[in-house]
Amino acid sequence: MTSPFYTASFKNISFADRLFPSYPHISHISNTAIFGHSLGGAAAAAAMSQVPSFRGGMNIDGTMFERVLTAGLDRPFVLLGHENKTQETDPSWKSVWPMLTGWKKEFEVKGAAHYSFSDLPLIALGLDLQKQLQPEIGLVLGTLEGHRMMNLTVTYVTAFRDFALKSGSEAFLDVASGNFLEVIEVA
């Protein structure tokens, strides 16, 4: 659970200015979307529930927790999961879905695994591990090539950020999905 002190402090611009003196833009929280992978994705949703000025969020392959499961969110939110990480396979995603009352989408990336969304696929590529240990490494990193997975993740995060903060147009889905046929819109 997030401490009321931290929540109140984060909303207090003078506190943020003291905490980040060389970053004056940090106080413009009303023009912010929040994203994270795994526990960070669940934390992004939890932060949105505590800080109403966050304009959108994305949980990348994280199991949901906290009060979001019961209180939900009323702003744009995306669930982006690996192959077989959907509402049908993760009870927390199934529980939170009806509680997301704002704009929402759920995507599944075929050929991805949990750590596909991390730096590990690029490291494995650099060490040539994907070719040497394909069956074993695929269970952890998925079967998508590292650069492709990085581009996919960056494209979806950036497109959603632009949607949440700037355009409000779902055209980002066309651009992103046209380039990445392995991404399936689940809901």
Domains of the chain by residue range:
33-185
CA distance 13 to 144: 42
Beta carbons of 173 and 105 less than 8 angstroms apart: yes
**pLDDT band with cut points at 50, 70 and 90 for residue 187:** very high
CA distance 140 to 20: 37
Would residue 35 be called left, alpha or beta, if left means φ above 0 and alpha means ψ between -120 and 50 degrees? Answer: beta
* Total-model pTM: 0.83
**pLDDT band with cut points at 50, 70 and 90 for residue 23:** low
pLDDT in tens, 37-64: 999 999 999 999 998 889 999 999 999 9
pLDDT above 90 coverage of the chain, percent:
58
The mean pLDDT value of the chain amounts to 86
The yes-or-no verdict on residue 33 having pLDDT over 80 is yes
pLDDT above 70 coverage of the chain, percent:
82
From the candidate CATH numbers 3.40.50.620, 3.40.50.1820, 3.90.660.10, 3.40.630.10, the one assigned to the domain spanning 33-185: 3.40.50.1820
Amino acid letter, residue 108? E
pLDDT in tens, 121-154: 999 888 887 677 767 778 888 989 999 999 999 9
Residue in the structure block whose two tokens are 């997301």:
100
- Alpha helices of 13-128 — where are they, by DSSP H? 13-19, 39-50, 68-71, 91-96, 120-126
